[in-house]
Structure 1
Amino acid sequence: MAHSMDKARQAPGLGAAATRALTVAALDPVPIFREGLNVLVSRTPGLQWIGHAATHHASLQLCEQLRPNIVIVDSGFDPHCHLVRLLCEGDPALVIVVLVRETHRTAQFLSTAAAAGAHAMVPRAADPRRLAEAIRRAHAERRYTDPSLAALTARPKRQPAGSSGALTSAHRPQMPLSRREYQVLQLVAEGLENSAIAKTLFLSVETVRTHVKSILRKLSARDRTHAVTKAFRAGILIPRPEDGGAPARDAVPAPNTQV
């Protein structure tokens, strides 16, 4: 399992001060960056680090089990904001702070992230003090954009009538799968069989089989391999950022007849 929850289980949380602290988790594939966020959060009064996740299905599990107040999401980890949308739908109280990589520093990405439900957007290269302030303000105000990104989120002065709604619709992430189907598809892409997926997600094998059938139907896929291939092409699944922008050779499972 990619996410880290041992600290959250062992951390003292029974005192009044710990109860008042805002719990924070990071969803980021880069270990050194996660460690930096851990240090920043742990040293910031009023914030408490509770763990991290390095895959999408682990991110959903972490948020389901630990219920953090705030999650910090790397834009490279979720470039189409599908994960952000699923997290918002699963927990409307959750505050999501997106760390924007330089390649995603565009009006289109920021619009997509906002439409998906992100509460704050901050450059990934922001200094620790700015990031800590953004986390606090995002939780207090439910909306925060770093000043360096503000110009990209400003609406043009002149827009044709009715264009704002069309823009929002165009940038709204399209995700045909449910939260659980998305987790199952992630694990199918990692090459897991139904029994292993069931153990990972604490589901019955029959339930996993039902989810797989639904995934094939929604993606109009012939089999599991075809479903994963179509999901990568459609941007529903993404290669890990450190993989250089292309799906790993083992990202698509070998053809099999299992459903």
Structure 2
Amino acid sequence: MHGIEPTRRPAGPAGPGGRSLGVAVVDPVPIFRDGLAALVHRNQGLHWAGQAASHHAALQLCEQVKPDVVLLDSALDPNCHLTKLLNAGDPALILVILIRDANRTQQYLATAIAAGAHAIVPRSIDSRRLAEAIRRAHSERRYIDPALAALTARPKRTAAPKGDLAHDSPPAPRGAMPLSRREYQVLQLVAEGLENSAIAKLLFLSVETVRTHVKSILRKLSARDRTHAVTIAFRSGILIARAEDGHVPVTADTTAIPDHR
């Protein structure tokens, strides 16, 4: 897919606002992804664009399929690095964070918004409200579920710009991202034990380009070698322990829920 610019593909019956929206899911739990796929299939105006269980797979999915909306599990992105990278990679992409109780804090909410999240809803939200949140996030480019309203309270001394989702400035997140989008992908594959040649094949790059990215990663993380870089990345929160890589993109006219790897 290197050098190819895929386009969004409308499919299925369009909703009241026009064309159908492609919805992808990034979540480590297969049965949860199945449930979200079923929700998308039964809602007019939405179609299933694919799924991912890891950061690397999510970046590949969005590069290849170009969904309109991504539903992202907050536990998979505790420092909001993936949110920032997805937003930077495709400014038109709508990012909806499914926030777990462990991340249900004012700090996380503000950090996610600063990273580019357009909507934040509880992960336990019911299907009707989630479908509405997807549509509102796409049409308004901002939506916070009423159940999270208390987390958006503005400190009295803060004067916020009009139209912001949240009014308080987020603190700097742990493990601030010093790497580019491609360097982040390379580092994740290095962490899985892949050599440069294997990484090059997966990312459709030359081995020399991968080698250049690895050198840049070592320099930015002040690491002695690849192993040291991975250790630093996990300790600083740049990388997190995650589910096995894999995404299952689905063609626009597919009606069956896809099998999982």
> Same fold per TM (> 0.5)?
yes
State the alpha-carbon separation in 2 of the partners of residues 193 and 153 from structure 1. 44
Letter in 2 for 1:54: A
Which residue number in structure 2 is paired with residue 136 of structure 1? 135
Q: Equivalent of 1:195, from 181, 187, 197?
A: 197
In the alignment, is residue 83 of structure 1 matched against residue 82 of structure 2? yes
Correspondence for 2:239: 237
Secondary structure, in 3 states, of the residue corresponding to 2:170?
Answer: helix
Residue 6 of structure 2 aligns with which residue? none
1:126: how far off? 0.6
Alpha-carbon shift at residue 29 of structure 1 (Å):
0.8
Distance 1:211 1:43, change over 3 A: same
2:151 maps to a residue whose letter is L
2:182 is aligned to 180
Gaps of 5+ in 2: 1-8, 160-165, 245-261
Q: Deviations over 1:207-246 (max 9, x none)?
A: 111100000000000000000000001100001279xxxx
CA contact (8 A) 1:112 1:173 kept: no
C-alpha deviations, 1:26-69, integer Å up to 9, x for none? 01111000000000011111000011011111111110111110
Contact 2:107 2:171 in 1 (8 A): no
- Number of residue equivalences: 229
Partner of 2:252: none
In structure 1, stretches of 5+ residues that fail to align are 1-11, 243-259
Distance 1:208 1:154, change over 3 A: same
Give how far 1:17 is off. 4.4
CA distance in 1, matches of 2:183, 2:229: 12
- CA-atom RMSD in angstroms: 2.5
TM-superposed deviation, 1:158: 3.7
- Report what 2:218 is aligned to: 216
1:29 paired residue number: 28
Q: 1:40 to 1:212 in 2, by over 3 A?
A: same
Looking at structure 1, the residues matched to 175 and 143 of structure 2 have their Cα atoms a distance apart, in angstroms, of 20
> What is the aligned-residue identity percentage?
70
Structure 1 residues 166, 133: CA separation in 2 closer, same or farther (over 3 Å shift)? closer
Deviation (angstroms), 1:157: 2.3
Equivalents in 2 of 1:53, 1:239: separation in Å? 15
Amino acid at match of 2:90: D
Q: Summarize the alignment of residues 1-259 of structure 1 with structure 2, pairs less than 5 Å apart.
A: 17=14, 20-159=19-158, 167-168=169-170, 170-171=172-173, 174-240=176-242
Quote the offset at 1:82 in angstroms: 0.2
Determine which structure has greater relative contact order: mean sequence separation of CA pairs < 8 Å that are 6+ residues apart, divided by chain length.
2
Counterpart CA distance in 2 for 1:166 and 1:145 is: 15
Give 1:16 shift.
7.7
Distance 1:173 1:70, change over 3 A: farther
User: Aligned partners of 1:108 and 1:166: how far apart in 2?
Assistant: 9
Q: Which TM-score applies when normalising by structure 2?
A: 0.82
Superposed CA offset, 1:177-199 (max 9, x none)? 00000000000001111111111
AA paired with 1:71?
Answer: V
Deviation at 1:173, TM superposition (A): 7.3
